[in-house]
Structure 1
Amino acid sequence: MDLEALYDLPSWEWPEGTKEKLMALVQNAEAPMEDREIAAELLSDISVMDDSVAGVLLEIAANPDESPSLRGTAAVALGAALELADMEGFDDPEENPLSEEVFKKIQKTFYTLYHDPRTPEDVRRHVFEGAVRAPQPWHRQVIEGAYGSKDENWRLTAVFAMRWVDGYEKEIVESLQSKDPDILYQAVCAAGAWGIAEAAPVLEKILQSEEIDEDLLFAAIDAVATVMPERAPEVLGDLLNSDDPDIVDAVEEALSTAKSILTLEQDSGNGAQ
């Protein structure tokens, strides 16, 4: 099984039996750790996620005999499924990869792992990064403590979490000035998630830079749609001439999103009259 090749394939094009092979690999203590971590990342794909996959990943995340790195990867891999379950609810099983029972079990286990002093610090951080995608009341205290920490890893986790937990506009705008590229990236994502208007000058500066990290570029393109939808054609227009088809696709998607936002705002305004 060519793990690297699977990254470049949509999961619906994976060879038959790939999910089962990945589940076996991630549980195989004799396999190379790098391969097990890749398998855990690949299993995070929503289209292959179900209760059985979630159970395997959760067991690894909670297992003190596994390496902290693999445990953290497995915890983060459950984040997307938690987010979808939190948004969709459980009325329609076809819309949700997890049962309500497994969803609650993950949340309970993550709470326990985070608050267990025996859990390695890196595992605790990654457990929280998975858990926060389905926000709960206890997450706010963690965010505030992490953001005030002198540890840059915890500050990074805090800004990452602000993408899903509301009420941190001030901290997100502050983080947009960070010299740490990882914190800046997460702050751009968070600003886009909440449509924070104060982020506009930073986004324009990023997009005008001659040298820019690819991930940051795509995050900034996405954020423009919600931060300044009315100016999106002006700010992103030149990028439609890019030689990179992925950039062009991202811009077109952002412009479509911006147009939809403006239409909704207009309709809401007309309805209020």
Structure 2
Amino acid sequence: MASQGTKSIFGRFVLAIVIAIIFTPNFTSAKKFKVDGLKMNVIDKCWRSNPEWRKHHSQLATCSIGYAGKMTNNIGTGLIHYKVTDASDDPINPKPGTLRYGASVIQGKIWITFQRGMLIKLVRPLLISNFTTIDGRGTDVHIAHNACLMIFKSTNIIIHGLRIHHCKPQAPGMVMGPNGKVTWRKGNHENRDKWEFHSVRDVFENGASFMATKDKHVTKPNYTKEQVFKVADAKCVRSLTRASGALRCSKTSIC
């Protein structure tokens, strides 16, 4: 009788083990599935398959897919490699080594990487130039807790491997724009579709633009029809400029 009871208990114990094995999650399989899921990212699979990718950052451009296709215009002849070593930010006079200097000041194709992980608190939005790549792979780079990135009338831009979060709206102000030009952004984040950019080096800072274009988004000169005059002979210069002179400015009136 005891023998039968022992066998019964043993049988139930074995059955319990079998059930436990069937319903226990397979941690090895779960881990493998997670890794396989990462490999299913076509872009990551492309560049990660090269163990020397750190020496060939620009390979990322040939791994791109989607609407933009291969971003091969961002690499090739004339490509400049730039490394960010300084996390500070000066929106008007960027220092060499900062992200803004590489993204806004340097002309031509540029591939930006980072010397180390860093937190970059941008004072003003970072206006990115054409043919710019910001590559954060291999480091832990955060752009956070203030202004963030802005792409305005620029093309061929790659941004990869950055952590961009906690962006804050910014009041209008001067900033180094694409191609190294200091601009003044008018408007706030709520009416960003109507933002206007003006060069602070123009004589007519508040609206003048000397670009002949049909683009409705480009700022137009701020003169009225009554102020327009036909091309005149050089002899008329004196009469046309007879009212010119130094501006009289005060705290209560606009110059």
Q: TM-score with structure 1 length normalisation?
A: 0.26
Which has the larger strand fraction? 2
Which has the larger helix fraction? 1
Q: TM-score with structure 2 length normalisation?
A: 0.27
